[in-house]
Structure 1
Amino acid sequence: MNKSILIILIVISVICTIISSYIDSNTMHYIFKPLSTILVILLPVLYAKNGLKRYKNIILIGLVFCLIGDIFLMFDAYFIFGLASFLIGHVFFIYAFASIRGFSWNVKTLMPLVLVAGLIFFKLKDHLGDLLIPVILYVTCIVLMAWQAINVYVWKKEYGFLLIAIGASLFLVSDSVLSYRKFIGDFTIAQFLVSSTYWTAITLISLSTIYINKKTSAAI
């Protein structure tokens, strides 16, 4: 299958997922939500560079945990399991990004992320109840993921690393909107924002396994 065709299929599946939420079609939602992530997983499976085997495998594990999280989050009763699945997925993404050149301690790129995450958490904290500690852990983890992704691009401004940086940043946006919707209140375009940023995020991270420069691949 041509890579462009697979990306088109991802877009179509994501659109169907978004539509299913607005028309309250559970059957459609149960089919297309996991299917969208499965299609994203196929990108590194089918097209990742051979020289990126270690990096690709770590990313794949992270994506599989995203798929598990997607399935859990389809049911309100399993929200905490979905949160845990995505938390584990983020840990693998952090490991993957750090595998490129080691864990980066660039504080300049961390401060804006901490500021944004802090503002979001301040808005949410009075609505979290028993989930306060899990959410703190999750926010910390996703900030670390975005931080390491951005640092890789700051280190070397190549296309594959740009995909990582944008993808991880969009993940932060998606989870912020999802948290607001879950704990404070829904709004008309919330589902569109969550879905579009989330699947764009994991698609870009998947594509990084294809577009990271060959000269860099020897290190990972």
Structure 2
Amino acid sequence: MLTKTEQQFTILFILLLIAELICGSVESLSAWHYFTKPSLLTALIVYFYFNSNKLTPKTKVMTLIALVFSLMGDVFLMFVDLSPKFFMFGLASFLLAHVFYIVVFWTRRNSKIKPIGLIVVLIMYAIGLFYLLKNSLGEMLIPVIFYIIVILLMAIMAFLRQVKVSKISFVLVFLGAILFVISDSILALNKFYMPLSFSSISIMFSYALAQFFIVMGLLKQS
């Protein structure tokens, strides 16, 4: 059951996401894309900041840093057409965001869980993804490999929170982590493998929900 505040923010976030999906897809509205895209993470940052008093200071600060780096990544990726360097800046920003998420998830890990099955599935997934991308990566080979390892580690850390947090918190955060993997996979395939239909919509939709679920899940972990 959502509280009134959660309901209001969810509606606001959905409206912002719809606006971004439209502005990011309709050429005549593309100028608004420079407002609607960063507004998603900005809204999450503000909401999390004012509703995370029950979390430990470390969790609150680390999560805010992860969200700020994510916002920076969003902004950098909006300007990749101007220079390839912006893609690298965006990649580095999201890499750091994942690192801070890993730290946050690690603090509530369940040391009794041995996620062998999940690790095997994720490794097989990563191998398949890398097989499709490897011939087009060029100088991006090492950065992409490193990024894949870090984001999969983030998903594993999200899984290790099981039992150590409330059930709804575990489900939301783990779902968010998996959606993050999916979003970045679509982005990588679209950029390095082949153009995908409706890629901008699928990338942003899965990415926005990933961040939303992670934030809402962390706020419910107590």
Query: TM-score of the superposition, structure 2-length normalised?
Result: 0.89
The equivalent of 1:33 in structure 2 is 37
Specify the code of the residue in structure 2 equivalent to 1:151: L
Distance 1:155 1:54 in 2: 17
Shift of residue 20, structure 1, vs aligned partner: 1.4
- Kindly report structure 1 stretches of 4+ aligned residues shifted beyond 4 Å: 102-105, 154-157
Change (3 A) 1:155 1:125: farther
Contact 1:173 1:197 in 2 (8 A): yes
Specify the code of the residue in structure 2 equivalent to 1:92: F
Distance 1:137 1:153 in 2: 26
Aligned with 1:158 (options 167, 192, 204): 167
Distance 2:10 2:46 in 1: 10
Contact 1:174 1:198 in 2 (8 A): yes
**Mapping for residues 17-166 of structure 1, pairs under 5 Å:** 17-24=20-27, 25-76=29-80, 77=83, 78-101=86-109, 106-153=115-162, 158-166=167-175
Shift of residue 119, structure 1, vs aligned partner: 0.7
CA RMSD of aligned residues (A): 1.9
| Structure 2 alignment gaps of length 5 or more | none
Distance 2:14 2:92 in 1: 26
Shift of residue 155, structure 1, vs aligned partner: 6.0
Specify the code of the residue in structure 2 equivalent to 1:20: C
Change (3 A) 1:155 1:119: farther
Shift of residue 188, structure 1, vs aligned partner: 2.4
Higher relative contact order (CA 8 A, sep 6+): 1
Distance 1:95 1:51 in 2: 14
Distance 1:31 1:74 in 2: 11
Which range moved further: 3-12 or 189-198? Answer: 3-12
Which range moved further: 158-167 or 183-192? Answer: 183-192
Specify the code of the residue in structure 1 equivalent to 2:5: N
Aligned length, in residue pairs: 213
Deviations 1:17-56 (A, max 9, x none): 1111211233211000001111111231121242433212
Distance 1:93 1:142 in 2: 10
Shift of residue 105, structure 1, vs aligned partner: 5.5
Distance 1:83 1:96 in 2: 20
Which range moved further: 185-194 or 168-177? Answer: 185-194
**Percent of residue pairs identical:** 33
Distance 1:167 1:71 in 2: 21
Specify the code of the residue in structure 2 equivalent to 1:187: L
Higher helix share: 1
Query: TM-score of the superposition, structure 1-length normalised?
Result: 0.90
| Structure 1 alignment gaps of length 5 or more | 214-220
